[in-house]
Amino acid sequence: MTAPESSPAFNLPSLSLSLRTLFTGFLAVIGLGMLMSGAQILLTHGMADGEFGVSRNDIVFSYYGNRNGSRMAEKLAGTMKDKASVADRAKLIEWIKAGSPRERWAPDVQPIVSSNCAKCHGTIPGLADFRTYKAVTAFTKVNDGASISALTRVSHIHLFGIAFISFFVCVIFSLSVGLPKWLKATVIALPFIFQFIDILSWWMTKWYPGFAYMTIVGGFSYHASSAFMILTSLYQMWVMPWRGRTSDEHAWIRLP
């Protein structure tokens, strides 16, 4: 089925005011959502290594964890260093390295924790409570990053949610004019490819920290290709007609 060359062209600059309003409303909300997700990434993953800004280390900390040690060992060498004597800290670290055996908790470890740590951890609300064996061992296990169940949950939410967003952004962009066919089709494929790369990279980073770069590249490229489509669509819907420029390109049908 082909449209006669003389039928009016269907493309972004030729859309009715109501359709342009609908598309613009959607793109504006999605654009704002993307800015918010960028800010959210900065504030959560961005702070994972304790420094502002997203780096390879942040991604590694979030997905792979810090396998050299537990949260407790990390803190005993970090901000909690001055909370116990060298000898007591050494005993704690040695117990953590031995796998936090329960039979040594009451005789050896609990007295150190009670006298050095529990005056804050156990009294100050919101702070990790270290009064029981169970509560302490939650911090003495090796920190191996995101759990499989957390990754599965976040992956499926992202895959479904982002596919919807990309679909509508791409449908709108598919009505654009002036780009070579192959370039337009490539740009439309990109968000789906980068979304796939992004999610695959989380899983890969969980086992191989080297894949953290893939997360940064996938996430950045996803946003860049979406931003390109949103800005091009807005330009062609509003600026082109406003300047009196139209196009006779049939954006949605293949002419012979």
145/127 Cα distance (integer angstroms):
21
Q: How near is the Cβ of 117 to ligand HEC at its closest, in Å?
A: 3
Tokens of residue 166, six digits: 């990309």
Q: How near is the Cβ of 45 to ligand HEC at its closest, in Å?
A: 16
Do 253 and 3 meet the contact criterion of CB atoms below 8 Å apart?
A: yes
Closer to ligand HEC by CB, 88 or 198: give it. Answer: 88
Closer to ligand HEC by CB, 45 or 121: give it. Answer: 121
Q: How near is the Cβ of 104 to ligand HEC at its closest, in Å?
A: 16
Short-list 245, 66, 252, 114, CA closest to 176: 252
Closer to ligand HEC by CB, 54 or 76: give it. Answer: 76
Q: How near is the Cβ of 48 to ligand HEC at its closest, in Å?
A: 12
Do 31 and 168 meet the contact criterion of CB atoms below 8 Å apart?
A: no
Closer to ligand HEC by CB, 128 or 227: give it. Answer: 128
Q: Where are the beta strands (DSSP E) in 90-224?
A: 142-143
Q: What is residue 187's DSSP assignment?
A: H
Closer to ligand HEC by CB, 59 or 73: give it. Answer: 73
Closer to ligand HEC by CB, 66 or 195: give it. Answer: 66
Do 161 and 181 meet the contact criterion of CB atoms below 8 Å apart?
A: no
State the DSSP H helix or E strand holding residue 70, giving kind and residue range, or none if neither.
strand 66-70
Residues that bind ligand HEC (CB under 6 A): 71-72, 75-76, 79-80, 83-84, 116-117, 119-121, 127-128, 139
Q: What Cα–Cα distance (Å) separates residue 180 from each residue in 171, 172, 174? A: 17, 17, 12
112/24 Cα distance (integer angstroms):
62
Q: How near is the Cβ of 82 to ligand HEC at its closest, in Å?
A: 9
Q: How near is the Cβ of 135 to ligand HEC at its closest, in Å?
A: 11
Question: Residue 143 pairs with which residues in a beta bridge?
Answer: 66
